[in-house]
Amino acid sequence: MYGNSFKSQLVAVVVPTPHALRAFAKERGLDPSLPAAQLCADPRCAEWALAELAAVGKADKLRGFEMVKAVLVEPEAFSVEADLMTPSFKLKRPQLQRRYQREIDAMYKALPQ
């Protein structure tokens, strides 16, 4: 999840579990055996992920400004090998931001002001 201090909305990079991704595919009539990258590239996957996050946020009584407004669905899990996590599996936020800055900017640009 990322929040730009000059914007009033949050965006996120989401990595679905293989099980959740297959369930999404089945619900939408897609072939669940398709590669994860192909399923994640489908715009309906981002809509699904955003709806799932909204449902959890609503159940947890998050306020509007605390809710994620746009997502990028990433098929590859963050990893130590990709230098996106520490050996103790904590997120390396600066490296994640550098890796996804272009996509973050695009999500903010697509959101209504």
> Among 69, 65, 66, which Cα is nearest to 46's?
69
Q: 97-105: long-range contacts (C-beta < 8 A, 24 or more apart)? A: 97/2, 100/2, 100/13, 100/72, 103/13, 103/72, 104/2, 104/4, 104/11, 104/13, 104/72
3-23 confidence digits (pLDDT tens)? 999 999 999 999 999 999 999
What range does the domain containing 21 cover? 2-110
**What total of structural domains would you count in the chain?**
1
> Among 66, 64, 28, which Cα is nearest to 45's?
28
45-102 confidence digits (pLDDT tens)? 999 999 999 999 999 999 999 999 999 999 999 999 999 999 999 999 999 999 999 9
Q: Is the pTM of this model over 0.85?
A: yes
